[in-house]
Amino acid sequence: MSTTPFEQLANLDRTVHDPARLAILTALSACERADFLFLQRITGLTKGNLSSHLSKLEEAGLVEIEKRFVEKKTQTLVRLSDSGRKTIESYWQEIEALRKSATGWRSQNAALALA
């Protein structure tokens, strides 16, 4: 028995599906690594919010965080782990399947919506 688009939505990985974490993972999937300030700038998150989301992603094994000093200032670098790269790719495949499922579901149930 196939699942409905609504069941597919409910089964999405919430660690990835959160808008802020999805923005972070998407940005990181487009580059080798990014520094904290770059991620903050492109996601629009506050320092505290970004730090909190990065901690959750690190705990889940999706990102690797490196802290180092550059000219006596701390620099935080973030990159997708191998698992993170596979997870974000799988997420986008699930979203594409969900989109196709929703299109098919809409076609099948159009008459019911008019009743």
Report yes or no on 110 lying in a domain: no
Report yes or no on 109 lying in a domain: no
Report yes or no on 14 lying in a domain: yes
Report yes or no on 113 lying in a domain: no
Res 1: pLDDT: 45
Instruction: Name the pTM for this structure.
Output: 0.84
Q: pLDDT tens digits, the chain, 115 residues: what are they?
A: 467 878 888 888 899 999 999 999 999 999 999 999 999 999 999 999 999 999 999 999 999 999 999 888 999 999 999 999 999 999 999 999 888 888 877 666 655 555 4
Q: Residue 70 sits in which domain range?
A: 5-104
* Domain count within the chain: 1
Report yes or no on 16 lying in a domain: yes
| C-alpha to C-alpha distances, 20 to 8, 10, 52, nearest whole angstrom | 20, 18, 10
Q: What is the CATH number of the domain that holds 54?
A: 1.10.10.10
Q: Which residues contact 102 (CB under 8 A, 6 or more apart)?
A: 5
